[in-house]
Structures are given as structure tokens and as C-alpha cells.
Amino acid sequence: MMLALTFVVHLKATNIMHYQFPHTIQNKHGEKITFLRMEGQRVIVENFVEPNAGPPMHVHFFQDECFTIVKGRIGYQIEGQAPLYAGPGETLLFKRGVPHRFWNAGDEVLHCEGWVDPADNFIFFITHIFAAIDQGKGGKPELFDGSYLNWRYRREFDMTEIPKFVKTIIMPVTYFIGRLLGKYEKFKSAPQPL
């Protein structure tokens, strides 16, 4: 029997988010993450990824991310380097500030266990990006929510495959229009960017 715990995640001075653990998110493109618990500032995670699924090239500027492969085969790549592969029992560490991507390189569901340290806004950001992806088309986040999240938290997270013009012109304009149209009421309790 799994216990559900309510945990307050203290995020730098004024950022406080409440999550009930385990907290599971899933997107329609084959990624599922369960945030199991907090250990200090580190969130312990478990993820399941369908064959050929995984996040695009991205970077988190303040968090280290570590996975140990439980089952399956993972493909991973550091930006500018050749893809590499790992299997059960192997551990990968993606250091903060290093653009990377990973995907299920096998024929069965990839299962990993690991952590993100420090959690900061990671749980909030990933939870809402998954929701925006589910609302969008072609694997891309819904326009207004995606712009809100990517623009507001641009100093913390970056999707490196998004063209610079889109990130510096289109997203801020869309973010501003969304604010004028009242699109972001659901984000009124969003944590402050770091």
C-alpha cells in the first residue's frame, strides 16, 4: 500500500508550493513521471517512457538530474556530442546548465529511478509543461500556456531547439497578449521565478 503524503516544498525564500506525494504527471506523447518524495531540496523521481518517446533538447540552469535505468534502454545526448546509450543498472548524471535530451531507445517501456536537485520550480514547471503539451498539437505546448511557462521561467529552463527569434520575440509578445486576454488565471499561485 502506498501512502500519500502532503509535503510543502520550500523554494528559495518566498516560493512555496504544496504537493501531495506521490505526484504523477503524464503526457500524451509517452512520458510519465512520479515525484515520490522530497529529501531536503532533492525530489526523488521515477519515470516511465514509451519507445521512441522522450523530451527534446533542454537545459535546467539550477538543477542536476540523475537517472538509474531499472528496465529498458535509454538513448541520451549532450548538445553537440554524439548520442550514447545505457541499460539496466547504469546511472546518468546531467549537470545543471548542460543542454541534454534522452529517449527510450528500446522496444519496451523504459523505467528509471532518480532525482532532481534542488527541486526549486522543477515540479511546477514540468507539471504544467506536460499539461500544455497535452493541450497543444504536434508535440508542442499550447501557445499561450507554453509561452507563459517558457517566458516566465526562461532563466531556469530552456528548450534549446526553439529558435532564438521565437524565444525573444514571439514568446514575450504571446505572453503579453495572454495576460491582456486573462489566459493565466490558472497560474495565479505560480511560484516566482528564481
Predicted pLDDT at 80 = 96
- 9: pLDDT strictly greater than 80: no
Give domain status of residue 193, yes or no. no
Q: Same domain, yes or no, for 76 and 165?
A: no
Q: How far apart are CA 20 and CA 7, in angstroms?
A: 6
What would the DSSP string read from start to end of 50-89?
A: -TT----SEEESS-EEEEEEEES-EEEEETTS--EEE-TT
Q: Same domain, yes or no, for 71 and 167?
A: no
Q: What's the DSSP call for residue 71?
A: E
Q: Same domain, yes or no, for 76 and 145?
A: no
- 176: pLDDT strictly greater than 70: yes
Q: Same domain, yes or no, for 105 and 19?
A: yes
Q: Same domain, yes or no, for 67 and 144?
A: no
How many independent structural domains does the chain possess? 2
Give domain status of residue 128, yes or no. no
Inter-residue contact 24 to 12 (CB < 8 Å): no
pLDDT in tens, 10-57: 444 444 467 899 999 999 999 999 999 999 999 999 999 999 999 999
pLDDT in tens, 46-104: 999 999 999 999 999 999 999 999 999 999 999 999 999 999 999 999 999 999 999 99
Q: Same domain, yes or no, for 43 and 85?
A: yes
Domain range holding 149? 136-184
Q: Same domain, yes or no, for 96 and 146?
A: no
pLDDT in tens, 95-132: 999 999 999 999 999 999 999 999 999 999 999 999 99
Give domain status of residue 164, yes or no. yes
Q: Which of 1, 15, 22 is nearest to 122 (CA)?
A: 15
pLDDT in tens, 137-168: 887 889 999 999 999 999 999 999 999 999 99
Give domain status of residue 129, yes or no. no
Q: Same domain, yes or no, for 74 and 110?
A: yes
Give domain status of residue 33, yes or no. yes
Q: Cell numbers at residue 50, please?
A: 514509451
Q: Same domain, yes or no, for 151 and 55?
A: no
Q: Same domain, yes or no, for 146 and 73?
A: no
- 8: pLDDT strictly greater than 80: no
Give domain status of residue 58, yes or no. yes
Predicted pLDDT at 11 = 43
Q: Same domain, yes or no, for 179 and 103?
A: no
Predicted pLDDT at 17 = 60
Q: Same domain, yes or no, for 163 and 99?
A: no
Choose one of 90, 117, 144: the last residue of a domain. Answer: 117
Whether the pTM exceeds 0.75: the reply is yes
- 3: pLDDT strictly greater than 90: no
